[in-house]
Structure 1
């Protein structure tokens, strides 16, 4: 019977590899079918299958993802990025900031929403500076991956490995992984990865237009007015230093200074407080002017700039509109539609005079900052038609920012000091932000990644089956017979290579599920410290640079950057080899 169980486990492993590589079934359903087969043939009992769902690390991963989504909802990261990433700087300067901030944040926050928030900034900066986004988007993903490997909570892969450490029975006295067990490899590699990308990314990455280039090139150019604040950081800077001399973004057309209107053709033109600037720009760029970090005030917006939440929408004036021939200020958008005019596009014609004095024409496309009542007030209106929603603008209260950020960081800090379990700390933070209505309690359950929870729980069950049937022992023995004659370092190297290849072409979670029990069994057979054997699996699975399908942030930048598989391999394989060498050397020095 034991031999039959071994055969079943091997068949299941082959099925998982083929299904994930060929994308025959979704990852969650693949693991569901695999574990169902193991249960059907009695390899696993029902309690062993369900044991993974009670694992504390799964709950920790889900809570970290919920907190990451809460941070995204209140737009605090977006506001922060708009201030720390300047409109102008050289390629290497911008790349340095990406590596520093995204790498740092990813050590303590889920890296997927960080990359999602940063992608528009990278794309817009690329357009303004005539640099292909393909030169920056892949380094953005790599920075998130490198930062995530620095701490226990930086990536779900590390937490999955910790969950397997807690559940394993081979080393009964083995302690759970601590917050900074990963630091001694992760932090040096963050620095080395930074240097590698800083010096080689521009040479190795393609100069290629993204898939959506044609769309972005055809966007409408709007006319918008903005005033330089008295306390603005733009005062005394030239047009070029402010990033307004590039015609692909915000192009400064003229400046009204007192009674004079100045045509701006000189990039060395210096701005003064109170200057009224008239820009030609795209909708997304104009929406960004609403942020406090722009140094500009939009005079048409007025008190609506204080709204906690608003939408930037595009409308077009209908051919039989009663607004035709009326000045903008006569329409009273604020009182009638709970909105204010931001910018105007007139089919390529130049809009002359102050926006509030312009007379509307049929076909005029207008950007509005719309409040909560806009949709209900304009629903049956025939004066204009809604084209699209450009962006949602949020201005979170300070207490929400401090509660969410401060609470999350405090929970992580207390956990790192072993004062309270991370599970309890994050649970308290979630309860508090719901009580204080930092986010909507109704929305939180919608953002739970149930597929991820299922994959992790069933991965733990698969690991149990491999250990229980002796499959892990068999594979470990083969691994040891091949690599051990070359030394302990060779065994770790073999484990790293197998894990990173599986992670690159299936998923990192599946790679961990398959290799972790083998790695720990090898440590037991050799009578060695199991900690480096657990860590090497985690690093090999999480530090995934070889393919776009190996890690979720790689997949996110794959299409927008116009990349192909060769691009990832070209820049990813040297970084993978460097990461493997550094990992093996440091783990060998620290634990053997």
Structure 2
């Protein structure tokens, strides 16, 4: 029976790798199917499957995300950034401040909302200073990743590893990871990463605006549809006479006339009433199409064009959005978010067909016309992130700022001193901010990332199955036999390399679930201390710079920065190699 269990576990691992790499079922459902199979064949008991949901670290991760989102809601970080960054002059100065402040904050606050808040400032600063956003958005993501690796709570990956440390039974005397166990590698790498990006980011990153590619003769951001309305001044004019050329920031890519799609025009091409014009253009020029003087109607706007006040905002679809694979029409932006879609940008692809019928993908950048209720309806949403927005400046009450921001930092500080558990500290803060009505208690469930909780809990169950059946022992035995002749350093390096490659292509949480039990088993077999083998997995999974799908902040900047996979690899592989060398060298010096 034991041999059969081993076969089942290997089959499940193969299924997970294929499903996540091919994006067949999504991460949460992939792990659910995998653990269900393990339970069905008796590899795991129901108690072992459900044990992960009682893990303290899952609750800590959820509470940190809730507090991070609450801080974003009351605009504490946003106001702080608005006072710091506009004073910066020059590319190097702005980049330095990104690294310093985002890296520093990310060590103690969840880095995803930090990047979401910072993106509008990077975008607007780039525009004002005539610098491509692609020179700054990727360093923004990397700064958040580097800072998150400095402490236990900087990234959810570190907390997931800590949860596995608590659940493991190979080393009964092994203590949970402490707040600053990561500092001795994370902080030096924060400095090294700062220097690397400061001196090489401008050279290695492309000068590329978030453009609509695949449209000949244009490098514009968005695709937008407009119809020549009745009595329009454009009727009967040629394209040149109409002033709709590229010189005004709009490139006419296609004209849909009846059932015909026309893509090639000469200078004498005459516009007619009812023509649907598909443009590629900048956001400001697209906003100008809303004016009555344009002679055009945006079909999607409808009655919202009569609003006395509305904002044109840019959003990017998040990596775990429920909107993915839904058409724009199915999403119903108007009913759900008090907004309508104006235009869309899909990185590296031509957006074809009617915009209302286009199915959304992660990383899509969308231009919305938003009403007054947009912010209240979307501020708790995790389906997309705001890139650029026009809204009234909010000045939150001081008691909200001190209660939320101060309370969170106090809980973290007391936990670092081992005076109170982080779980209890964060729980007290959440209760207090609800009593004082800093946030609405009824809105809290909307902000919980249930998919993340399911993935983490089931990852713990997978780790239990690998250790219980001896699969982790087998894999670690093969790894040891190959790399041990080169020394324990080679074993650590091999674990780091395997973890970072898996994290780059199947998500870091899945990589941790697969490699952690193997790493800890290798430490037990070699008779070495377990802590460095736990930390190396955490660093390799969290410090992921190779692909946009390796870390959520990478995916957030992927579309807005106009990047492709090669851009990430070009600047990411040297930093990954440096991180691996520094991590292995420091852990070897400290523990062996």
Moved over 2 A (4+): 211-218, 281-285, 311-315, 367-372, 389-394
Q: 1:33 to 1:369 in 2, by over 3 A?
A: closer
Structure 2 Cα separation of the partners of residues 4 and 395 of structure 1: 63
1:313 to 310, 314, 326: 310
**8 A Cα contact 2:106 2:147, kept in partner:** yes
What's the counterpart of residue 10 of structure 1? 10
Which secondary structure does the structure 2 equivalent of 1:42 belong to? coil
C-alpha displacement of 1:156: 0.2
Structure 2, unpaired ranges of 5+: 213-218, 225-248, 250-282, 288-307, 313-368, 375-388
Q: 1:423 to 1:88 in 2, by over 3 A?
A: closer
Structure 1 Cα separation of the partners of residues 178 and 392 of structure 2: 39
Q: 1:34 to 1:392 in 2, by over 3 A?
A: farther
Structure 2 Cα separation of the partners of residues 312 and 2 of structure 1: 68
Structure 2 Cα separation of the partners of residues 135 and 538 of structure 1: 28
Q: Does 1:472 align with 2:472?
A: yes
C-alpha displacement of 1:368: 13
**8 A Cα contact 1:20 1:506, kept in partner:** yes
What's the counterpart of residue 197 of structure 1? 197
C-alpha displacement of 1:568: 0.3
What's the counterpart of residue 375 of structure 1? none
C-alpha displacement of 1:216: 7.9
Aligned length: 440
Structure 1 Cα separation of the partners of residues 484 and 221 of structure 2: 56
Q: 1:485 to 1:125 in 2, by over 3 A?
A: same
What's the counterpart of residue 528 of structure 2? 528
**8 A Cα contact 1:31 1:458, kept in partner:** yes
Which secondary structure does the structure 1 equivalent of 2:193 belong to? helix
What's the counterpart of residue 362 of structure 2? none
Q: Does 1:98 align with 2:98?
A: yes
Larger Rg: 1
C-alpha displacement of 1:88: 4.8
Q: Where do residues 127-276 of structure 1 align in structure 2 (5 Å cutoff)?
A: 127-211=127-211, 214=220
C-alpha displacement of 1:392: 5.6
What's the counterpart of residue 230 of structure 1? none
Q: 1:88 to 1:177 in 2, by over 3 A?
A: closer
CA RMSD of aligned residues (A): 2.5
**8 A Cα contact 1:147 1:190, kept in partner:** yes
Q: Where do residues 373-384 of structure 1 align in structure 2 (5 Å cutoff)?
A: none
What's the counterpart of residue 560 of structure 1? 560
Q: 1:370 to 1:477 in 2, by over 3 A?
A: closer
For 1:489-519, what per-residue CA distance to the aligned partner results, in whole angstroms no more than 9, with x for missing partners? 0000000000000000101000000000000
Structure 1, unpaired ranges of 5+: 219-247, 249-280, 286-310, 316-366, 373-388
For 1:77-115, what per-residue CA distance to the aligned partner results, in whole angstroms no more than 9, with x for missing partners? 111100010255100000000000000000000100110
Structure 1 Cα separation of the partners of residues 222 and 198 of structure 2: 28
Structure 2 Cα separation of the partners of residues 562 and 314 of structure 1: 24
Q: Does 1:31 align with 2:44?
A: no
**8 A Cα contact 2:211 2:222, kept in partner:** no
Q: Where do residues 53-68 of structure 1 align in structure 2 (5 Å cutoff)?
A: 53-68=53-68
Structure 1 Cα separation of the partners of residues 557 and 95 of structure 2: 15
C-alpha displacement of 1:390: 4.0
What's the counterpart of residue 501 of structure 1? 501
What's the counterpart of residue 510 of structure 1? 510
